Amino acid sequence: MFAVVEIGGRQYRVSPGDEIFVEKLNQAEGAEVKFPVLLVSDDSGVKVGKPYIEGLEVAGQVVGDQKGKKLVVFHYTQKKRIRTKTGHRQTYTKVKIANA
């Protein structure tokens, strides 16, 4: 059994017990969050929402926040002696799926 949920404008395929990294949520550690379901597949078949399945939500629990890998952003302009090097680390929230 699995479901496709939408979190922060992105779609994730989840099953019960999965731990996923999503864009940072403003929730405290241990808080319960609910996500709308776009598609669900189980023993009875596949159900597709328009765009969401009414009356069905996937619950998850916030495990904590983590930072992703560091990205190096390098801007270079030739013949002008312009070189700019900066970095970026995206913050993610780890969510454990309770039911799907």
pLDDT at 24 over 80: yes
- Residues 49-59 have pLDDT tens digits of 999 999 999 99
Residue 87: inside a domain, yes or no?
A: no
Residue 77: inside a domain, yes or no?
A: no
Residue 81: inside a domain, yes or no?
A: no
pLDDT for 31 equals 96
Residue 84: inside a domain, yes or no?
A: no
Residue 39: inside a domain, yes or no?
A: yes
* Tally of structural domains, the chain: 1
pLDDT for 100 equals 63
pLDDT for 16 equals 94
Amino acid in the structure at residue 45? G
Residue 85: inside a domain, yes or no?
A: no
Residue 14: inside a domain, yes or no?
A: yes
Residue 22: inside a domain, yes or no?
A: yes
Which segments within 1-100 are labelled E, that is strand?
Answer: 2-7, 10-14, 19-23, 32-42, 45-48, 57-67, 71-77, 82-88, 91-97
10 Å Cβ neighbour count for 35? Answer: 21
**With contact defined as beta carbons under 8 Å apart, do 7 and 26 qualify?**
no
